[in-house]
Homo-oligomer: A and B are copies of this chain.
Amino acid sequence: MQGLASVLAGIPLAALLIGPDQRIAATNPAALDLLGQGIGGRHFLTALRQPDVLTAIESTLRDHAPRRTGYQASDSGRDSSFVVHVAYIDTPESHGVLVCFEDMTEREQAAQMRRDFVANVSHELRTPLTALMGFIETLQGPARRDDKAIDRFLGIMQTEAARMERLVRDLLSLSRVESEERVRPREPVDLSGTIGSVLYMLRPMARERGCEIAFDPVEGIEVPGNADQLQQVFTNLVENAIKYGGAGNHITITIETLDKDVTLRAPGVAVRVRDRGPGIDPLHIPRLTERFYRVDTHRSREMGGTGLGLAIVKHIVNRHRGRLRISSTPGEGSEFMVILPRWTASQG
């Protein structure tokens, strides 16, 4: 079976061969990962177990006709699903049934994500829309000619419409970044200058909330990137720090060069945005960059958040071949670190 094992190893799917004695005659590494390291030589009934797969194999052993069926795997809480292709083969070396497992998990998850996304977008829009329609009706009926009510309601309507506009704008940003994610941007972008202009624009917001921001620019650090998108990254991070940093907030932004970052395998630069707010429960941290994931939905909406800010940050950082790391100590504050590959002479 040496030869057939070598063929199976070349197939980019989990694959195994069942011999005429109904035992597993050959496997490839992906099949062992999927079904267990000890399946070689065992009767297929004890190795595969799912009735649809067993029936397909038995039938193909009998009539030699190819078949397709499904297989569900569950490993440490992660469900995977496969299309199983069963085919009779006949070689001088052996004959039997070749079983190949085509992994559909990613495709199914992508479909599920799309549906969740649409449901989320619709839900996010419905609330402000219902409010708007209610106010329009009230202004046409009960509050008609009531100048004070009209002024007040128009103010709320403006807030709700602006919320929807932010959502639409963030949706468009996200879809644009996603569609470009494979194309790495390569303009030299001055990092301190970018952060400086973000801070200049956010100064009024920070002042209004009594928030101090400390930033010591480091001159001459450039990264290959897209200036607008990097500006959006730091705008979103600093805005979050201002919004969620709590009372008496103090934000520190630092830039540090890394000679050879382990994950980037290249010279990098780390920008840290640190606040002294209440911090984030570690439970939430791995999910913060998911679309519409919020630690506190009510608070986020109140603050005008769309639930897409960190998802946009993550995708822009990915596009720049960088890393986003979030850490927090509840009661002491949070740190959002963006690591980007640095501009080097060879790229110039």
Contact = CB atoms under 8 A, between A and B. Distances in A.
Interface of A: 2-4, 6-7, 9-13, 15, 66, 83, 85, 87-93, 98, 100, 102, 106-107, 110-112, 114-115, 117-119, 121-122, 125-126, 129, 132-133, 136-137, 139-140, 145, 147, 150-151, 154-155, 157-158, 161-162, 164-165, 168, 171-172, 174-175, 178-179
Contacts of A3: 89-93
Most buried by B among A110, A114, A147, A174: A114
Secondary structure type dominating chain A contacts: helix
B125 A168 contact: yes
Contacts of A155: 140
A112 B15 CA distance: 31
A168 B132 contact: no
B12 A91 contact: no
Given A10-B66, A11-B15, 15 more contacts: A3-B90, A3-B93, A9-B89, A11-B13, A12-B85, A91-B93, A106-B107, A110-B114, A115-B175, A115-B179, A122-B171, A129-B168, A132-B157, A136-B154, A140-B151
Quickly give the copy total for this chain.
Answer: 2
A132 B154 contact: no
Contacts of A9: 87, 89
A6 B213 CA distance: 69
